[in-house]
Structures are given as structure tokens and as C-alpha cells.
Amino acid sequence: MKILLACLLSITNALTEVSIIPLPGRIEETPPHLLLKPGDFVSLPPYASKELYLSTLSEAAGFPFTPTTADVSCPIQFLAPNSLPADLEKPRGEGYVLRILEKSAIIHSATQAGHFNGLQSLSQLIASAPRKADTLSLPCLTASDSPRFAWRGFMLDESRHFTGVPGLKRLLDGMGRYKLNVLHWHLTDSPGWRIEIKKYPKLTSIGGRGNEHDQRPDAPAEFYTQEQIRELVAYAKERNITIVPEIDMPGHADAAVRAYPAHDGGGFLKKGSTTKWPRFTFNPAKAETLSFLEDILTEVASLFPDAGVIHLGGDEVHFGWHKWPNSRRCKAS
């Protein structure tokens, strides 16, 4: 039992010495250490956001670093895979190799995404490094990593509780830190409509009022303007994150139908409630409603050019399709 416990403690100590989340696929530690100090130079890749890379490293260290050109040897370098020793496999896609040597920390990658992931791993090591005065000490090692899953997502429901630009940027920062790369942004549902649609302004001025716990007719409207959405999409892209919007249909339509009642497909009242959910669906057989939704999706698609998809939800429609069988248009279609 004592031998088993000693082995487990040894494994735990080995894993906790390298503070990278998620843990890379391969780590090999070697002596000695790399020392970093205020003002040390960082050689950045040409496509990197200088402000983002430097602030990530400087905030982790607690002191500033200095950018320099890529051809200058310096304590932190971002290089292409062809600079790796022949015995190390070259990373592809979002993968990277981090080599911490006695005189420099080098992140090798073939892509912007890979360099960004390597940046996060290095910054985590810097944040947890032991310090003496203004100098911190990093263990020399070689870490090779690439994502196991292409879609590493987080879903945020904005309809029930509105986040706002500052809060969303903090979330994107956290996602980037731990190498999550897809934000599933749930922007419309029964409680509120959170995305500006230029052709239908009442979607936000009326549909954007309230939240899950406040359905007052005079509740403030909370939503993202198209300018704010473009800003957030660009902010996410710098952090290797794609934002995928969700526009719920044909159910969960209450907020939109409050704004434009002509597209009401019906619902039902939950027992004991006057607000859940009398206008739960869009009308599935009305040509004007289909054109209305097509207009909305056209504007949404233009705001998320890299998403490749718009999530339509499509769930829980049975909460509101009770009137469909009696609809003349539904019967005819």
C-alpha cells in the first residue's frame, strides 16, 4: 500500500509541475531552466496581433516584454515548423511544439491558430513560474500538442439573461486561454431577441425587452447592434474562436411574434401562467412569414462570415404547434 501511494504521489507531482490546461499530448522535461526578466524581447509571427500577444505574456509575467523583428534571436520566439530539429514531428493545423531551452522559449507552428495555442500554454507556464525579485524561472521542456476535437465549444444563452459586450469579451478571453474555439451564441428565444436586424427594428425595440425573470412591457430593451457584433466577431477571431449564431425557429418565437404578431403560429398557456407560451411558434405555412425569416437569416449570415452555419434550434416545437392542424394554410400546404 505504501509503495502504491508513493507511486501515485510521484505521478501527481510530475503532472502538477507543468501547469498547462489542457495538458499537452506530450511533455518531456529537461534541465536546466530559462530565466525571463522585464524588457526581454519577443519575436512575433507576422500575422500576430502585437497588442494581444504582448499583453497575454506581460499579464502572465507581471512585467512587460518588448517586441522585435522575427530575425532577431531573443528569449521568446514564434517560428515556423521548418526550424524544428529533425527528430521532432512537425505540427499541423492547430498544433504546436513548445521548446523551452536555456536561452529561449520557442513556439513552432504552421498556422496562426497553432501559434495562438502555443502562446496560451507558454503564458500559463509563465504565470505559475517561481520568481525571485524581477526574474522568473521556467523549466526547460519540449511540449507537443494538437487538439483532439476540431469543435471545442461553449454555448451562451443571451435570450434569458443578457451579457453585454464587456462580459462577452471576458468570456472570449477565458475561452482562448483554454483553447476553446467555437462560441455557440444563442441570440433569440422566447424571453428576448438580442440581435439587431435592420429590416425589422421592432425585433429589438419590442422583442428585446425583458428577460427570463422580467417580462414587463416597459422593461428595457437589451440587444447587440450590428456594429457591436462585428466588433465581437473580430475580437473572437483574434483568439482563434469562431462565433456560430443561433436564431431559434420554428418554436421559441415569442419575442419575435410580440414584435411582429402577423407571423404568430400559435402556442398554449402553461398552467398557472399568463406569459408562457401563447405565441410560441412562427406560422409554418404563411409565405410572408417565410420571407420574414429569410430576410432575418440573410442579415445574420452577413454578420458571421466565418461561421459556415446558422443554428436554427428546432427544438420543443410541440409546446406550440397545437393550432397548426386547424390552420387552413397548414392543411393546404
Handedness of CA 52, 58, 61, 67 (dihedral sign): positive
Catalytic member of 145, 252, 263, 264: 252
Catalytic annotation, pick one of 189, 196, 222, 254: 189
**3-state SS assignment for residue 295:** helix
**Active-site residue among 231, 238, 295, 316?**
316
Q: Where are the alpha helices (DSSP H) in 41-127?
A: 50-61, 112-127
| Pick from 161, 190, 212: nearest CA to 278 | 190
C-beta atoms surrounding 92 within 10 Å: 12
Q: At a CB cut-off of 8 Å and minimum separation 6, what does 257 contact?
A: 263, 264, 265, 279, 282
- 8 Å CB contact between 207 and 191: no
Identify whether the C-beta of residue 261 lies closer than 8 Å to the C-beta of residue 268.
no
The answer to whether the CB of 200 falls within 8 A of the CB of 259 is yes
Angle (CA) 316 317 318, round 5°: 90
What is residue 53's three-state secondary structure?
Answer: helix
What residues contact 176, with CB distance under 8 A and at least 6 apart? 116, 120, 239, 240, 241
Residues 6+ apart with CB under 8 A from 200: 259, 260, 292, 295, 296
189 catalytic? Reply is yes
Is 196 a known active-site residue? no
Cβ atoms 256, 205 nearer than 8 A: no
Strands (E), the chain: 26-36, 41-43, 66-68, 76-79, 96-100, 105-108, 131-132, 135-145, 153-157, 182-188, 242-249, 264-266, 281-282, 311-313
Q: Is 184 a catalytic residue?
A: no
User: How far from chain centre, in Å, is Cα 305?
Assistant: 15
Do the Cβ atoms of 255 and 188 come closer than 8 Å?
Answer: yes
Q: Which residues are catalytic?
A: 189, 252, 316
